[in-house]
Amino acid sequence: MTPGTAPAPATLAITVQDVQAAYARIRGSIYRSPASYSAALSALTGQSVFLKLDNLQRTGAFKERGALNKILTLRPEETSRGVIAASAGNHAQAVAFHAAAHGLKVRIVMPETTPLNKVSRTAGFGAEVLLHGANYDEAYAEALLLSEQHGLTFLHPFDDAAVIAGQGSIGLELLEQVPHLDAVVVPIGGGGLIGGVGCALKELQPSVRVIGVQTERLPSMLRALEQGGPVTLASEATIADGIAVRRAGTLTYPLVERYVDEIVTVEEEEIAQAILVLLESEKTLAEGAGAIALAALLQAKTSLTGGERTAVLVCGGNIDVSLLAMMIERGLVKDGRRTRLRIHLTDRPGALHGMTRILADARANIVETSYDRAYYGVNLGNTVIDVTLETRGPAHIAEMRAALSAAGYRHERIN
């Protein structure tokens, strides 16, 4: 089946009235995140881009909306036993924060690969954290087992009607914040966010195009649409760990089938580039799952033709700082603002000085150097130096290399 082909409305987990009721329930405790116009991103993409910044929520992601709505709809006998959830981080923090705020005992099962910042923040919000399994599925299975053993109420991260309705509140806000909205681009993991947002938008303003984005490594919802129902994919590592879901939700799949017009995928490097673009252009920090919607626009992956008023969901900002540092460095290399040259020198006084003078004259900044006399086929009496440089871009690198060649320095670029 293809996006936009609808089952009967009676089969859907939620209605727009459910989304409106959820919003009325949670709006006093949830930050109404801005939907800011970006001139820079509009110029880059050909759209009129509005960034819906739910990475600014208290716990750093949109998950608070669904988690709080679910908690507020629990029966007294469910809250008295305490709650448990499985999550790679954002749902965990949302449940921990709002459950603790309402006096509930909280236990969270997280995969062993969860970034440290998400683990520590979840514990800091008041949850008992258990690390279990290599991925979300193994953590999920452990959480269900503990739920049965200890009588805890399980809070699903996406395949739950109350959670989906809560996430849909973003759609209601967008209709108020962005007049004449033409399209919205939404990350997809299990489908709770796009299911709720799609329901709100399509029922209230059917002309809005709803476009989903998944990582090429785990396109679980796209494969579900192709196969006519949820299928389980093989586990894959991705920097968009917040949407690394191997199987689309049973409740979310019919909502996506009915309300989503298009699903596209992006590569890991494209996600990393979007993170850097948000950081540099908008001074906005997003995690992989939070930047994936922008990645689709930057790479022209959607069917949007240009000029549309397009909302892009930046849905999470909980990125590990070590991963961010690596992505920044790789992004600089890809853009030609950092390069590494292997330069052959005669092993005599003054040879290094001559080389550095050429680099200085070219206005390149030396970041790191490494000498070697024994490897890389170096002749006796010669040496090799690897030089990492900050540059202004590809043209600057070409200018600098031409100067080295003109001075007789044999070299090669090694990145």
Give the pair of three-digit tokens for residue 386.
């690897």
| DSSP three-state, residue 313 | strand
pLDDT computed for residue 379 by the predictor: 59
* pLDDT higher than 50, residue 147: yes
Q: Taking residues 245-269, what's their average pLDDT?
A: 96
User: Is 5's pLDDT higher than 60?
Assistant: no
Provide the pLDDT for residue 360: 92
Same topology, domains 9-58+166-330 and 63-161? Answer is: yes
| Contact criterion met (CB below 8 Å) for 206 and 266 | no
Q: What DSSP character marks residue 261?
A: -
The least confident of 17-21, 32-36, 137-141 is 137-141
Tokens encoding 361:
């004259």
Q: Quickly state the pLDDT bin for 34 (edges 50, 70, 90).
A: very high
At 81, is the secondary structure helix, strand, or coil?
A: coil
* 188-226 pLDDT per residue, tens: 999 999 999 999 999 999 999 999 999 999 999 999 999
Burial class (CB in 10 A: 0-12, 13-18, 19+), 379: exposed
- Both tokens of residue 193? 């966010």
CA distance linking residue 160 with residue 356, whole number of Å: 62
Q: What is the mean pLDDT of the chain?
A: 92
Q: Are 4 and 206 in contact (CB under 8 A)?
A: no
3-class DSSP state of 312: strand
Cβ(215)–Cβ(240) below 8 Å:
yes
β-strands 35-38, 48-53 pairing:
antiparallel
Could you tell me where the DSSP H helices lie in 46-114?
63-72, 76-80, 90-101
Average pLDDT (231-245) is 91
Higher pLDDT, 330 or 342: 342
Cα–Cα distances (Å) from 193 to 19, 35, 92, 174, 405, in that order, read 12, 17, 16, 14, 55
Domains of the chain by residue range: 9-58+166-330, 63-161, 336-413
Q: Which residues contact 196 (CB under 8 A, 6 or more apart)?
A: 14, 19, 66, 164, 165, 166, 167, 168, 169, 170, 171, 255
Helices and strands (H and E) in the chain: how many: 17, 14
Nearest to 220 by CA among 255, 248, 243, 240: 248
Q: What is the mean pLDDT of residues 297-308?
A: 95
Report pLDDT for 345.
84
How far is 102 from 209, CA to CA, in rounded Å?
Answer: 37
pLDDT greater than 90 at residue 71 = yes
- Matching CATH number, 336-413, of 3.40.50.720, 3.40.50.150, 3.90.1150.10, 3.30.70.260: 3.30.70.260
Closest alpha carbon to 31 in 173, 161, 140: 173
The fold of 9-58+166-330 is Rossmann fold (3.40.50)
Higher-pLDDT residue of 126 and 350 is: 126
Say which amino acid occupies 106.
Answer: V
pLDDT tens-digit readout, 89-135:
899 999 999 999 999 999 999 989 887 878 888 999 999 999 999 88
Between 20 and 88, the higher pLDDT residue:
20
Amino acid at 63: K
Average pLDDT over residues 64-81: 96
Distance CA 73, CA 79 (A): 10
Report the share of the chain in percent with pLDDT over 70.
95
CA–CA dist 148, 154 (Å, integer):
9
pTM of the predicted protein model: 0.87
Confidence grade of residue 185 (pLDDT, cut at 50, 70, 90): very high
- According to DSSP, residue 18 is labeled H
- What CATH number has the domain spanning 63-161? 3.40.50.1100
Of the chain, the end-to-end C-alpha distance in Å amounts to 44
Confidence at residue 8, expressed as pLDDT on a 0 to 100 scale? 42
Which tokens is 381 given?
Answer: 């009496």
Q: Is the pLDDT of residue 391 over 50?
A: yes
Q: Which residue type sits at 22?
A: A
